[in-house]
A and B are shown apart, each in its own frame.
Chain A
Amino acid sequence: MDFNFTEEQGMVRDGLSRLVREQYDWETRRKAIASGAGWRPEVWAQLAELGILGMPFSEADGGFGGGAVDAMVIMEEFGKGLVIEPFVPTVVCAGGFLKHAGTDAQKEEHIGGIVSGERVFAFAYAEPRGRFDYADLETTAKKDGAGYVLNGHKAVVIGAPWASHLVVTARTGGERRDRSGVSVFVVAKDTAGITTRDYVTVDGRRASEVYFENVAVGAEALIGAEGEGLALIELVTDEAIAALCAEACGAMKVAHAMTVEYSRQRKQFGVPIGSFQVLQHRMVDMYTAYEQAVSLTYLATLRLGSDEVERKKAVSAAKVGVGQAARLIGQEAVQIHGGNGVTDEYAIGHFFKRLTIFDSEFGNVDHHLKRHVALS
Chain B
Amino acid sequence: MNLEFTPEEQAFRDEVRSFIAENYPAHLADFGMREDMSREDFLAWHKILGKKGWSVPAWPTEYGGTGWTPTQRYIWSEENARASTVMPLPFGVSMVGPVIYTFGNAEQKARHLPGIVSGEVWWCQGYSEPGAGSDLASLKTTAVRDGDHYVINGQKTWTTLAQHADWGFFLCRTDPTAKAQEGISFILVDMKSPGVEVKPIKLLDGGYEVNETWLTDVRVPVENLVGVENKGWTYAKFLLAHERSGIAGVARSKRGIEKLREIAANESLDGAPLIKDFDFARKVSQLEIDLAALEITELRTLAGEQAGKGPGPESSILKIKGTEIQQRLTELTLEAVGTYSAPYHGGVSNDNSNEHPVGPDYAQHAAATYFNMRKTSIYGGSNEIQRNIITKMILGL
Q: How far is the CA of A350 from the CA of B206 in the complex (A)?
A: 12
Interchain CB contact under 8 A, B367 and A356: yes
Nearest B-chain residue to A334, judged by Cβ: B374
Which stretch, A104-112, A225-233, A341-349, touches the partner chain B? A341-349
Mask for B354-397, Cβ within 8 A of A = 1, else 0? 01001110000001101110110111001110010000000000
Contact call A276/B342, Cβ cutoff below 8 A:
no
What B residues does A339 contact at CB under 8 A? 128, 133, 157-158, 210, 375, 378-379
From B203, B280, B342, B371, name the one whose CB has the most chain A CB atoms within 10 angstroms.
Answer: B342
Within B120-146, the residues touching A (CB, 8 Å) are 128, 131, 133-135, 138
Contact string against A for B residues 200-219, beta-carbon threshold 8 Å, 1 for contact and 0 otherwise: 01111010001000000000
Chain B's nearest CB lies how many Å from the CB of A342?
A: 5
Known contacts: A209-B358, A278-B387. The answer to whether A155 contacts B339 by CB under 8 A is: yes
- Does B279 contact A200, Cβ atoms closer than 8 Å? no
Whether B100 sits at the interface, judged by CB under 8 Å, is no
- Given contacts A339-B158, A344-B203, are A360 and B350 in contact (CB under 8 A)? no
User: B370 to chain A: which residues have CB within 8 Å?
Assistant: 356
Assess whether B349 is in contact with A356, with CB atoms less than 8 Å apart.
Answer: no
Residue on A with the closest CB to B391? A278
Q: Which of A128, A133, A342, A359 has the most CB of B within 10 A?
A: A342
Cβ distance A340 to chain B, nearest Cβ, rounded Å: 9
Residue of A nearest to B158 (CB): A339
**B363 → A minimal CB distance (Å):** 10
| A148 CA to B138 CA, complexed, in Å | 71
B8 neighbours in A (Cβ, 8 Å)? none
Chain A nearest Cβ from B233, distance in angstroms:
15
The distance in angstroms between the C-alpha atoms of A158 and B341, with both chains bound, is 13
Let me know if B187 is at the binding interface, CB within 8 A. Answer: no
Separation in Å of the B217 CB from the closest CB of chain A?
26
Cross-chain contact of B340 among A156, A335, A341, A364 (Cβ < 8 A): A156
Cα–Cα, bound, A357→B366 (Å): 12
Return the chain A residue nearest B349 by Cβ: A199
From 152 to 195 in chain B, residues with beta carbon under 8 angstroms from any chain A beta carbon are 157-158
Docked Cα-Cα span, A38 to B131, in Å, equals 35
B378 contacts A335, C-beta separation under 8 Å: yes
A136 at the interface (CB under 8 A from B): yes
Name A's interface SS: mixed
Give, as a whole number of angstroms, the nearest-CB distance from A155 to chain B.
5
Q: Smallest distance from the beta carbon of B325 to chain A beta carbons, Å?
A: 15
Residue A375 CB within 8 A of the other chain: no
Residue of A nearest to B201 (CB): A343
Q: Are A353 and B371 within 8 A (Cβ)?
A: yes
CA distance in complex: A128, B339 (Å): 8
Residues of B within 8 A of A133 (CB): 269-270
In the assembled complex, the CB of A265 is this many whole angstroms from the nearest CB of chain B, namely 12
Chain A residue with Cβ nearest B379: A339
Instruction: Compute how far the CA of A341 lies from the CA of B371 in the bound complex, rounded to whole angstroms.
Output: 10
For B206, the closest partner residue in chain A by CB is: A344
B204 touches A344 (CB 8 A): yes
Chain B residues with CB below 8 A from A192, complex form: none
Kindly state whether residue A201 has any CB partner on chain B within 8 Å.
yes
Q: B203 contacts which of A276, A342, A360 (Cβ < 8 Å)?
A: A342
A176 to B270, CA, bound (A): 11
Q: Is B271 an interface residue (CB 8 A)?
A: yes
Out of B134, B206, B342, which one reaches A203, CB within 8 Å?
B342
Please report the C-alpha to C-alpha distance between residue A352 and residue B367 in the assembled complex, in whole angstroms: 12
Nearest B residue to A367 via CB reads B269
Given A199-B349, A353-B371, does the pair A131, B378 have CB atoms closer than 8 Å? no
User: CA A38 – CA B368 in complex, angstroms?
Assistant: 20
Q: Are B342 and A357 in contact (CB under 8 A)?
A: yes
The answer, yes or no, to whether B288 is at the interface (CB within 8 Å) is: no
A142 at the interface (CB under 8 A from B): no
B375 lies within 8 A of A156 (CB): no
The reply on B351 being an interface residue by CB < 8 A is yes
Please determine whether B133 and A268 come into contact, CB atoms closer than 8 angstroms.
yes
Residue among A128, A268, A345 making CB contact with B134, cutoff 8 Å: A268
Q: Does A269 lie at the interface of the complex (its beta carbon under 8 Å from any beta carbon of B)?
A: yes
User: Quick check: B343 and A201 within 8 Å, CB to CB?
Assistant: yes
Contact of A207 with B by CB under 8 A: yes
**What 0/1 readout, one digit per residue, does chain B (247-261) give for beta carbons within 8 Å of chain A?**
000000000000000
Q: How far is the CA of A132 from the CA of B270 in the complex (A)?
A: 9
Does A195 reach chain B (CB closer than 8 Å)? no
Contact B344 A338, beta carbon cutoff 8 Å: no
Contact of B75 with A by CB under 8 A: no
Question: Does the CB pair B203–A198 fall under 8 Å?
Answer: no
Given A338-B382, A360-B339, are A200 and B202 also a contact pair (CB < 8 Å)?
A: no
B351 contacts A198, C-beta separation under 8 Å: yes
* Cα–Cα, bound, A33→B331 (Å): 25
B201 contacts which of A267, A276, A345, A370 (Cβ < 8 Å)? A345
Residue of A nearest to B385 (CB): A268
Given contacts A341-B378, A357-B341, contact A200 B271 (CB under 8 A): no
Chain B residue nearest to A373 (CB atoms) is: B279
Residues of B193-242 whose CB lies within 8 A of A: 201-204, 206, 210
Contact B204 A131 (CB under 8 A): no
Let me know if A155 and B267 touch, CB within 8 A: no
Q: How far is the CA of A350 from the CA of B247 in the complex (A)?
A: 27
A126 / chain B contacts, CB cutoff of 8 Å = 339
Q: Which B residues are in CB contact (< 8 Å) with A128?
A: 339-340, 359-360
Decide: B338 and A131 in contact? CB cutoff 8 A. Answer: yes
- Is the beta-carbon distance between A202 and B339 smaller than 8 angstroms? no
Nearest CB of A to B326, in Å: 13
**B243 contacts the other chain (CB 8 A):** no
Complex: chain A residue closest to B383, CB-CB:
A335
Across the interface, name the chain A residue whose C-beta is closest to B366.
A202
Chain A residues near B379: list those with CB within 8 A: 339
Interface: B295 (CB within 8 A): no
Given contacts A356-B341, A356-B371, 8 further A-B contacts (CB under 8 A): A34-B348, A128-B340, A129-B268, A200-B348, A203-B342, A268-B135, A352-B204, A352-B374
Enumerate chain B interface residues (CB-CB to A < 8 A).
128, 131, 133-135, 138, 157-158, 201-204, 206, 210, 267-271, 274, 277, 279-280, 331, 334-335, 338-344, 347-351, 355, 358-360, 367-368, 370-372, 374-375, 377-379, 382-384, 387
The 5 closest A-B pairs by CB, nearest first: A344-B202, A268-B135, A349-B204, A201-B342, A200-B344
What would be 29 A-B contacts, judged by CB atoms less than 8 Å apart?
A34-B347, A131-B338, A155-B359, A156-B340, A200-B348, A201-B344, A202-B344, A203-B342, A209-B358, A269-B135, A270-B135, A335-B383, A342-B372, A342-B374, A343-B203, A344-B203, A344-B206, A345-B201, A352-B371, A353-B204, A353-B367, A356-B341, A357-B341, A360-B335, A364-B335, A364-B338, A366-B279, A366-B280, A369-B279
